[in-house]
Amino acid sequence: MNAILETRALCKSFGALVVADNVEFRLAPGARHALIGPNGAGKTTLLNLITGRIEPTSGEILLGGEPITGLRPAARVKRGLGRTFQINTLFRQLPVIDNVALAIAERDGVAGGMFRPASRQRAVIEEALALLATLGLADDARARVADLPYGKQRLVEIAIALGLKPKVLLLDEPAAGVPSLESHRILEVLDGLPRDIAILIIEHDMDLVFRFAQRITVLSQGAVLTEGTPAEIGANEAVRQVYLGERHG
């Protein structure tokens, strides 16, 4: 099966510090894939390499079979690569609907229009409202993001990325900081995402990972330790070592 997202021999080092060590990673179309590993394993680095926030030292990244290695982040977004951020990266002073509409307008190529009022972009606004409704945020559309409870802000984080209609969605700890009582809401939303989007999730909440992911890749010290189904990973001794070693060392 052709991977929708693939890294080949991806390396990144800062001087002597190797943060991505020959990473071979494949994401299948429509996948529900998790990337786990102890702190400092290089998960966010890999995400930043894929999205183009940092350039690899060597190796290649392919999206839909085409190399995107040298492309700017915005160009990768245009090709269908969406992401969310571990730390909320929102337009805090703007209404929720504008947060999403800004993304949709960019995707539709109408965001540079200087003359017609933004509020006349009916298609953009209706799509934004529909998207918010699927995430249970319909009633908050006009609220300022800064006034929302944190859990809902995490959903806006996802909503903006969905507004791009990505082929591949990279979720960087979507439940980070969300009280466990509310994290089921995040999981519900994740479960409800369109099946044609391939999703790669980085998450520390193992409960969420094992309930959501069909495949799991374990990173350790910048390199892929192993990959498998949740059952396989759960039973893997090396994985336990890495996690237990981390926790007790």
Partner 1 sequence: MSALPPAAAGSAAHTGGYVADPRIRWQEWLPWVLAVAAFFGAPDYLSLGARILIFILFALSLDLILGYAGIITLGHSAFFGVGAYVAGILGAKLGVTDPLVQLAAAAAAAGVLGVVTGAIILRTTGLTLLMLTLAITLVFLEIANKATSITGGADGLAGVVVAPVLGLFRFDLYGKTAYLYSLAVLFVGWWLVRRLIYSPFGASLTGIRENAVRMHAVGAPVYARMVAVYAISATLAGIAGALLTQTHQFVGLNVLGLEPSGELLIMLILGGVGRIYGAFVGPFVYLIAQDYLAKQFPEYWYFGIGLILVLVVLFARGGILGIVDAALARLRRPSA
Positions in the binding site for partner 1 (CB under 8 A): 51, 73-75, 77-78, 83, 85, 89-95, 97-98, 101-103, 105-107, 110-121, 124-125, 128, 141-142, 144, 146, 160-161, 163-164
Least distance to partner 1, CB of residue 22, Å: 27
**Strands 223-228, 215-220: parallel, antiparallel or unpaired by DSSP?**
antiparallel
Least distance to partner 1, CB of residue 204, Å: 22
Tell me whether residue 223 is exposed, middle or buried, using C-beta atoms within 10 angstroms of its C-beta: 0 to 12, 13 to 18, 19 or more.
Answer: middle
| Nearer Cβ to partner 1 (117/249) | 117
Q: How many other C-beta atoms can be found within 10 angstroms of the C-beta atom of residue 187?
A: 16
Q: For residue 93, give both structure tokens.
A: 């002073």
**Strands 223-228, 168-172: parallel, antiparallel or unpaired by DSSP?**
unpaired
Least distance to partner 1, CB of residue 25, Å: 21
**Strands 66-67, 81-83: parallel, antiparallel or unpaired by DSSP?**
unpaired
| Nearer Cβ to partner 1 (85/212) | 85
| Nearer Cβ to partner 1 (19/141) | 141
| Nearer Cβ to partner 1 (7/84) | 84
Cα angle 92, 96, 101 (rounded to 5 degrees) comes to 110
**Nearest-CA neighbor of 233 among 35, 40, 46, 44?**
35
Distance (Å, rounded) from C-alpha 213 to C-alpha 199?
9
| Nearer Cβ to partner 1 (125/178) | 125
Least distance to partner 1, CB of residue 153, Å: 13
What is the C-alpha end-to-end distance of the chain, expressed in Å? 40
Least distance to partner 1, CB of residue 140, Å: 12
The answer to whether 141 and 97 are in contact (CB under 8 A) is yes
| Nearer Cβ to partner 1 (128/233) | 128
Least distance to partner 1, CB of residue 70, Å: 16
| Nearer Cβ to partner 1 (112/249) | 112
**Nearest-CA neighbor of 47 among 197, 202, 213, 243?**
202
Least distance to partner 1, CB of residue 101, Å: 4
Cα 45 vs. chain centroid, distance in angstroms?
Answer: 13
